[in-house]
Amino acid sequence: MEAVQAQVVAHYRSELVDRIRAFGGILSADGRLTIKLAKEFGFCYGVERAIDLAYAARKVFPPPTSIYLLGEIIHNPEVNDQIRNMGIRTLSANPTAEEMSLLRPEDVVIIPAFGTEVSTRKRLAEKGCNNLVDTTCGDVMSVWKRVRQYSKESVTSIIHGKAKHEETKATTSQATAYGAGHYLVVYDLAETDSVCNYILNGGNKQEFLEQFKGAYSPGFDPEVHLQAVGVANQTTMLRGETEEVQRRIKSAMEKRHGTGNLAEHFRFFDTICGATQDRQDALEKMLKEPMNLLIVVDEL
């Protein structure tokens, strides 16, 4: 990774950003234009590490060794273009049978910062592909640790996130890979309220399952699998919203089972990404100041 630092910096360092930072985050021109930079700006540690590892993989395994990337290293077109320009080929995040047929045991496979599904890892192992460059973010793996524990305790993971996002798919696969765990993904507070209402009052099971179609584990039964739940999250969701999801579900379980029995029916751990929170806080602070135009540069 040290050997490729200069190359990474050359591709992604901005002279304009460096200049604004040198002036304390504020740059003015002729008294007519002022540019302010959020205090926390740029790639977080997890993203920087993923990019560094991808560049390092090409350095360590030069052509003719084939290197494949599962999906996108991060959701940033420029970064992914640079990865492709290094001769690293892209497969689907969950490779098709045709894509898997391309792989040989000597090939290198890069797992992106979001992680990958347990089933995909198993398929790679069965194919004999053991040269894996795993760039999975440490904060994502912390979430996996929690949902695996829920699974082993037969506790359903309620995951605040986007059901179709690569990170959430990887997390849900962890929730069902061990023990007798199940999962349910809630996107927002409206869906959280639907879950809480079912916990407290029951309801039409088929209507509930239709509402959350594509966002729960195989065999999920709300009458059975909402008896004991643990909250987790996609690491890039808003912290305040995740905390409110946790608060509402905790309140519903407390009302349903009583304060004295809460520990048997509810779990929660803080799995919000610290870097994500720092950037959200910096943006919130900036929004309190008057401005004519806000430009958001998204890395994930």
The predicted model scores a pTM of 0.86
What's the pLDDT at 2?
80
Are both 44 and 89 inside the same structural domain? yes
Are both 114 and 213 inside the same structural domain? no
Asked if residue 297 belongs to a domain, the reply is no
What's the pLDDT at 300?
47
Quick check: 298 pLDDT over 70? no
Asked if residue 292 belongs to a domain, the reply is no
Query: Domain total for the chain?
Result: 2
Burial zone of 223 (CB within 10 Å; 0-12 exposed, 13-18 middle, 19+ buried): exposed
Are both 76 and 183 inside the same structural domain? no
Are both 109 and 193 inside the same structural domain? no
Are both 92 and 169 inside the same structural domain? no
Asked if residue 300 belongs to a domain, the reply is no
Are both 79 and 147 inside the same structural domain? no
Are both 44 and 92 inside the same structural domain? yes
| Per-residue model confidence as pLDDT tens digits over 52-109 | 999 999 999 999 999 999 999 988 888 899 999 999 999 999 999 999 999 999 999 9
Are both 133 and 282 inside the same structural domain? yes
| Per-residue model confidence as pLDDT tens digits over 106-122 | 999 999 999 999 999 99
243: annotated active-site residue = no
* CATH code of residue 99: 3.40.50.11270
Are both 51 and 161 inside the same structural domain? no
What's the pLDDT at 84?
94
Q: For strand 26-29 and strand 33-36, is the pairing parallel, antiparallel, or unpaired? A: antiparallel
Are both 147 and 102 inside the same structural domain? no
Quick check: 299 pLDDT over 80? no
Asked if residue 293 belongs to a domain, the reply is no
| Active-site option among 167, 243, 264, 284 | 167
What residues make up the domain containing 10? 2-137+278-287
